[in-house]
Amino acid sequence: MSFDGLFTRAMVEELSQAISGGRINKIHQPNKNEIIMIVRASGKNHKVLLSVHPSYARAQLTHEQHNNPNEPPMFCMLLRKHLEGYILEGIHQVNLDRMIIFDVKGRNEVGDLSNKQLIVEIMGRHSNIILVDKSKNMILDSIKHISFAVNTHRAILPGQPYIFPPNQNKVNPLEVDEQEIQKELDFNAGKVDRQLVDQFAGVSPLFAREVIYQAGTANRVTVPKTFFSLLNQIKERQYFPTITLQNGKEAFYLFPLTYMKGETKEFPSLSEMLDRFYFGKAERDRVKQQGNDLERFIVNEKVKNEKKLTKLLKTLEEAENSDRYQLFGELLTANLYAMKRGMKEIEVINYYDENEAKVKIQLDPQKTPSENAQKYFTKYQKAKNAIHFVKEQIELTEKEIAYFDMLYQQIESASTSDIEEIREELAEGGYLRIRSKRKKKKLANSKPILDHYLSSNGTDIFVGKNNKQNDYLTNKFAARDEIWLHTKDIPGSHVVIRSKEPDENTIMEAAMLAAYFSKARSSSAVPVDYTKVRFVKKPNGAKPGFVIYENQQTVYVTPDEDIILKLKANN
């Protein structure tokens, strides 16, 4: 639990410094778990993200782009009605709980002064965003409705009074000294880290483990001293936002977590750290939920075609040995006099062999000698005729495997809207049943939405995240002399630089995007080809997203999420 009460306190300070006194200009709800507020303060727009995702609940400033639905949800409409145009008077935390209250003031539709509170409760799967009429202490609405049947202490429903969550009656660690800390702990009972969490407000297991680790030994001298020292650091706002990575596990906090003994990366602000830590996590989680059936279908189709290819290759191997059947037929014809019905095999001299070696030939005891010879001639002719057909089937099957391999890669980096486009593509290709003719018509008439990035020098870079977007980007959107990129012989996205002569740094940044949105995302020194769009062609009858190109040059890059996030933030 990195986003504990102490972290919430620091985030409230960061938000207050950036947006207090600002005006709420626009509100969006990209999905059921997130609210985005655009706040104009200090001469610029700030994007505030409020999330109640079960695993990624938080409040922060963000630079990430979010795709909004065509029709805003009801809760979003209500927030717009009550908050857009209002002034953000202040932001505060309730005690050291993971609760943030945004106090807003403005005039309602009839011109009367109105005070509202937007309350964000960050409580894991119980997280919520609640709009309250401050003068009446009445809930206007919430992103999640909770009845008394679910929570006997309070209901979160329109028209109900707002009641704070039950007080846990813990000690505020920022208001005590070392002696008082010592009194709250029973060192004979053990599990001192657990006691720190149970006795003091705002303290998470993560923070407690850091205290014990830095204390060295969990005794009545070292633990209070270390605990008090770290709390002083927080009181004095000595923050060093850091992500720590150990054996594939990541954690973030206000300072480096030395107990993890892993790699660390420091950030200039809490929000920038959270953007980096949560980059794509919530989106991938939503995609996994919405595209689980699609992913399973793609995997099954790929496996089915791989099995088919194995059988075809075996058939081809047998077909290419068809000369052996011809030899057996001719040898049997030459030895008809030595054969009788009922024989299971015969050993004859191979007259075509220089050493005249003997060869055994299997016979069908139910056939006559001449019928056995004719059987091998027939097998020879069938095998000879099959070679061309089998080779065609192998080529088609290999293309199917490559196609589904490409779709699987696209799902891994897809957004929720990308998933629907992939589903539509499979329906158009006859792989899936069309869910709705109305939905198909709607998608067919809309242009794909491309991912937009800005290079360090301000050059536009566009990325296609699925085959519909790739086809649109390369064949319709891009100009002929702009630069096109793709990973070399690796499934991935089409990338276009909107420049005829980009500098070397822009090419490398675009190549980084091509490598990141490819099957080689986790690899190093990924080869990326680039050429002018005029040299990229789509063969007749080719599957969506498939192209051939020439006159390319190749660069090698290692995907880096920090750089991808920076290119996105530039936008």
Residue range 171-201, pLDDT digits in tens: 999 999 988 998 888 888 888 899 999 999 9
Do 201 and 172 meet the contact criterion of CB atoms below 8 Å apart?
Answer: yes
pLDDT above 90: residue 454:
yes
Q: Model confidence over 134-170: pLDDT tens digits?
A: 999 999 999 999 999 988 889 999 999 999 998 888 9
**Range of weakest confidence among 298-307, 407-416, 478-487:** 407-416
Q: Which fold has domain 173-284?
A: Helicase, Ruva Protein; domain 3 (1.10.8)
Q: What mean pLDDT value characterizes the chain?
A: 90
Q: What percent of the chain has pLDDT over 70?
A: 96
* The 3-state secondary structure of 436-498, one letter per residue: CHHHHHHHHCCCCCCEEEECCCCCEEEECCCHHHHHHHHHHHCCCCCEEEEECCCCECCEEEC
Write down the residue that tokens 């061309």 correspond to.
Answer: 388
Number of H helices, E strands in the chain: 16, 22
pLDDT band at 381 (very low <50, low <70, confident <90, very high): confident
Do 36 and 8 meet the contact criterion of CB atoms below 8 Å apart?
Answer: no
For 157, the token pair is 């429903």
The reported pLDDT for the residue numbered 421 is 84
Q: Where are the domains of the chain?
A: 5-142, 173-284, 293-410, 450-569
Do 62 and 23 meet the contact criterion of CB atoms below 8 Å apart?
Answer: no
Q: Model confidence over 39-75: pLDDT tens digits?
A: 999 999 999 999 999 889 999 999 887 778 889 999 9
Do 106 and 86 meet the contact criterion of CB atoms below 8 Å apart?
Answer: yes
Q: Model confidence over 519-539: pLDDT tens digits?
A: 998 899 999 999 999 999 999
Do 175 and 166 meet the contact criterion of CB atoms below 8 Å apart?
Answer: no
5-142 and 293-410 share one CATH topology?
A: no
Q: Which fold has domain 293-410?
A: Helix Hairpins (1.10.287)
Distance CA 474, CA 82 (A): 44
- Work out the widest C-alpha separation in the chain, in whole angstroms: 115
Segment 348-352 mean pLDDT: 87
Domain range 5-142, its CATH number among 2.30.310.10, 2.40.50.100, 2.60.40.10, 3.40.50.720: 2.30.310.10
